[in-house]
Amino acid sequence: MPRITQAQKELNREKIVRAASEGFKRRGVDGLGIQDLMHAAGMTNGGFYNHFASKDDLALEVYQQGFAQSLAVVSELREASPDAPQVALDAMIDTYVTAAHRDHPETGCPSAALPVDAGRHGIDPQTAYRDGLEGYFRNITDLLLQRAPDAGARLTSVDAREQAVALFSQMVGALVVSRAVAEADPSLSDEILAANNHRLHRE
């Protein structure tokens, strides 16, 4: 049997991470077994342990990659409006608090798809989740401080940080709660998103 190349090994690892990212965000870390995960990746069960020591190790990578990708989008939004912090902040809200994000957790940010899993699975995923949150908090804090002079407001870094934490927590909460009733009461789910989107733009 020919030996697998390093390039193929890296490709296989990425297939596993991609399948895990989609599966974990949609079904939860505990809701997706290794057999189903590897089937989704188009690989055999035995190949899993060539790449990861455990499902927890894989979940940690899902958190890290997921937040990195989400924060890259935030950076793009900021770069698109470098001198207009309110525009960038509004774009962040409109990108995050949406029906599309609600309906497709598998392609969205782990902040709203995997918070309960982070809380249940110990310090490593919680640390990765914390690092991701801090990335959002820093970006929003920067935008609020940048916006303050234009709004004629006096804002300390401490106050901006507090506002940023509350604002992003509301964004995450809006997604989590809207998903909780999306099938049982679609109109309520839409109302939750619309109300929070409206209020967030007034912060």
Whether the Cβ atoms of residue 116 and residue 172 lie closer than 8 Å to each other: no
Q: Quick one: pLDDT band at residue 152, thresholds 50, 70, 90?
A: confident
- Tokens found for residue 154: 């006096």
Residue entry with tokens 């995050």? 96
Q: How confident is the model at residue 202 (pLDDT cuts 50, 70, 90)?
A: confident
Q: Give the per-residue pLDDT at 35.
A: 93
Distance, CA of 197 to CA of 202 (rounded, Å): 9
- Residues 154 and 36: their CA atoms lie apart, in Å, by 54
Q: Is the pLDDT of residue 171 over 70?
A: yes
Tokens describing residue 183: 């099938």
User: Phi, psi at residue 83, to the nearest 5°?
Assistant: -110, 15
**What does the angle CA 157 – CA 158 – CA 161 come to, to the nearest 5 degrees?**
85
Q: Computed over its alpha carbons, how large is the radius of gyration of the chain?
A: 19
**Domains in the chain, start-ordered, CATH in brackets?**
54-200 (1.10.357.10)
pLDDT in tens, 22-37: 999 999 999 999 999 9
Report the C-alpha gap between 105 and 21 in whole angstroms.
Answer: 10
Q: 């949406």: which residue's tokens? A: 98
Q: Is the pLDDT of residue 191 over 80?
A: yes
Q: Which residues contact 28 (CB under 8 A, 6 or more apart)?
A: 114, 116, 117
Q: Would you say 86 and 150 are in contact if contact means Cβ atoms under 8 Å apart?
A: yes
- Res. 108: pLDDT tops 50: yes
Tell me what the pLDDT averaged over the chain comes to: 94
From start to end of the chain, where are the E strands? none
- pLDDT value at position 1? 47
Q: Which pLDDT value is given to residue 46?
A: 80
The residue behind tokens 């099938």 is: 183
Count Cβ atoms below 10 Å from residue 202 Cβ, excluding itself. Answer: 5
pLDDT tens digits along 53-79: 999 999 999 999 999 999 999 999 999
Is pLDDT of 109 > 80?
Answer: yes
